[in-house]
Chain A
Amino acid sequence: MSSVRSLEAELTAAITTHDALDFETWARRIFRHQFERNAPYRAFCERRGVRPETLARWDDVPAVPAAAFRRHDLACGPPEAVFRTSGTTAPETRGHHLVPHLALYRASALAAFERFVLPDDARLACLFLVPPPELLPDSSLARMCTWVGEAFGHGVEWFVGAGGLDLERLLDRLAGAERRGDAVLVGGVTSAFIQLFDICASRRHVFRLGPGSRVMDTGGAKGLLRPLSRAGFLRACWTTLGVAGYACVNEYGMTELCSQRYESVLRDRFDGRGLAPRRWLAPPWLRTRVLDPDTLEPTRAGDVGLLCHHDLANAGSVAVVLTEDLGRTIGDDGIEVMGRAAMAPPRGCGLLLAELGAA
């Protein structure tokens, strides 16, 4: 047990202190750790003839399909928390991620958030268009927002309750922030932002939030009441909230992963790369390969394929997850998510509000 703690605690410390990570070494250590402690995963690897002592490279670590999280408890030890994927389908078909070491998850989530959403070390009031963890205790997004608020926020307010998004309270709060010239972080699921844009349009409300304000949305097109392109979303952030496109950061995450990717805009601006293309960047402990659907070999640069994430922060469960998402690489450090495999079940944070409505 002590060695389990030491590996996860050591990685937590490395992430927290921004130590340089040797991905290859960590990937090997974590694979051995998971092979030894995660029985279903070990059986899966053995069927493929892959063992820690035969592993040639980090990208030979076998990838588990996201669907496996619907059927198995894939953990290396007793979980401190269990997170479940959102969706309007039957609960038994929803994926569940058992996390034995929450401190590692927290360290990873916070470090990535700070790197990509708060590169300027801003500390803002957090307005979350997400249910609080008391309402959805198994939501990884709610948990992440809690951690963000605690670590970086000047106060946290939640605007989604059992009845859905509390638009009146949110409008009041935004008006107050505008009056005082406060900078705020408005974070939440994309579908909630669209509800906000729609009511503002119908009432001719326009806000000009204080300088330094920013938007973090997640969930994309899933669960939207009406289609809205990314360009349309950014335009609405500007016209409705007064938040410029470069301060609007989309998050790409999955319940099955302890690390997230974020849109590059704020980080690029902070690094003086404001003309770089929008793409989704990862912290150093998360790598994503784009795989040909037929062969599961990497595609040529820029070709569309299945996204396969190797997340070292998943040390307590399974590090390599083959998703149902399609995407492509952009440059040498980014990806773009392009869609889903045909008939893949709808899931993800975008469905949080629909789920509340269905309950």
Chain B
Amino acid sequence: MNEPAREPGCATPDRLATLVDAAIEARAGLRGRALGDTAASLGEAAARWAADARLREELPAAARLSAPVVAEAIRLSAAAVDTAAMLALIEHEFGAGAVERPAPDGPALVGHVLAANVPALALPAIALGCLVGGAVVVKSGRDDALSAPAFHRALEAVDPALAATVVTAYWPGGDRACEEAAFQRAAVVVASGTDETVTALAGRLGARLIANGERTSVAAVSREGLGRDEPLAERLALDIALHDQRGCLSPRAVYVEADGAPSPMAFAERLAAALEHVARELPPGPATVEERAAQQLLASEAEWEAGSRVLAGAGGLVVYDPRAAFRPIAGRRAIRVHPVATLAALPVVLPKRRVECVGLATSGPEAAALVPGLRSLGVARLCPIGRMQQPTLAWPRGQRLPLGSLRGRPDGGALEIET
């Protein structure tokens, strides 16, 4: 039987299987290598990758993002794969002195299915796989088939032996033959994408799958946070604008305590102005008709809701919504501002297992008081507003330890708190 026709540039099952076998064999040859050396190579490759002129030129069109937004995404992704941060992560998860030792026993092959919404997801995926001592096979997302091979090239230049343990490929989602060829030997496959995508993969990969379905993020501002002499609205606008708000760390709602100064409505106005301002530096990319329609309908619907107000501009859309209930919001660079009597209500109004990150502008004690409730909701990361899109490699996505989960350690309700 003939193989089905494949798009140009797509992997073929036979080729994938050959590459994966070779990567596993190459990895066996590095069994004695100290993890610190692996981290150093990955860090150096990330820095080299960030300077890849071809990637900077081609990625904006592929990812449907503006060139300045892509440049920021590249900078942030490279910064996350920082040698010092990797060494700290290794010691944190594998114990003191672990950087001097080879990786503990782990998976021979780690598979990754990357989401299409955010570019450069390949870097942390490859780095984490290498740090648990496995060969790595990465399937790129539809809108960024460039970052992974570019990082592979950078790693090849820095450390050819480590690069030989990595396979990067692209095939359209649902190609069962490619999937089978790539992941047949994988002990674990991490998949990020829509709920529909990860559910379909769960049916095929079973317990080997670590599924990162659709998640969102919110911000929260207390009276104390509002009163600080800090450019809060501008920082939040940056969190919204990065990746054109497509990522799971992108805030889609901000809860503001009601009796502070400025008022939540005044904060909404500042935020709208800040979005305009940030759009001059980081202009939005081209929107699909579905996204443009969502933006229009969001504004149209808000007009019919008592007490709501729409603040629209070229930089985005801010909807002041007096109801506290979290409501999914579509559109690009669009956010709801909800007044609340107290942030202590957050664990009640937010949905369970849907919120990945909460950006905070609160006092330390206020943040500490929120931790148990947010942890039980499934929140995996707390950080200051303005840092929501800048996770380190230690981000316990879906409350799973980044290295431990690849080694089959049970979920531990991990929560990263960045101060």
Contacts and interface: CB of A to CB of B under 8 A. Distances in A.
A344 B306 CA distance: 21
A263 to B, nearest CB: 23
Contacts of A286: none
A343 B294 CA distance: 7
A235 interface: no
Given A71-B304, A341-B297, A293 B330 contact: no
How large, as a class, is the contact surface on chain B?
Answer: 20 to 34
B115 to A, nearest CB: 15
B301 A341 contact: no
Interface string B287-314: 0111111111100110111100000000
Contact of B293 (A47, A64, A293): A293
Per DSSP, chain B at the interface is helix
Contact of A68 (B289, B290, B301): B301
Contact of B296 (A40, A72, A293): A293
Contact of A296 (B290, B291, B296): B296
Interface string A319-359: 00010101000000000000111111000000000000000
B331 interface: yes
B297 A304 contact: no
A24 B225 CA distance: 56
Contacts of B328: 343
Interface residues on A, range: 20 to 34
A341 B294 contact: yes
Interface string A300-329: 000011100000000000000010101000
Nearest to A322: B300
A293 B294 CA distance: 8
Nearest to B305: A71
Contacts of A296: 296
Main secondary structure of the interface of A (DSSP, over half): mixed
Report which residue of A68, A72, A293, A304 has the largest number of chain B beta carbons within 10 angstroms of its beta carbon.
Answer: A293
B296 A340 contact: no
Contact of B292 (A44, A72, A294, A324): A294
A306 B296 contact: yes
A85 to B, nearest CB: 14
B304 A326 contact: no
Of B293, B296, B300, B305, most buried by chain A (CB within 10 Å of CB) is B293
A335 to B, nearest CB: 15
15 contacts: A40-B304, A47-B303, A65-B297, A65-B301, A65-B304, A71-B304, A72-B304, A294-B296, A322-B297, A326-B290, A326-B293, A339-B290, A341-B297, A342-B294, A342-B330
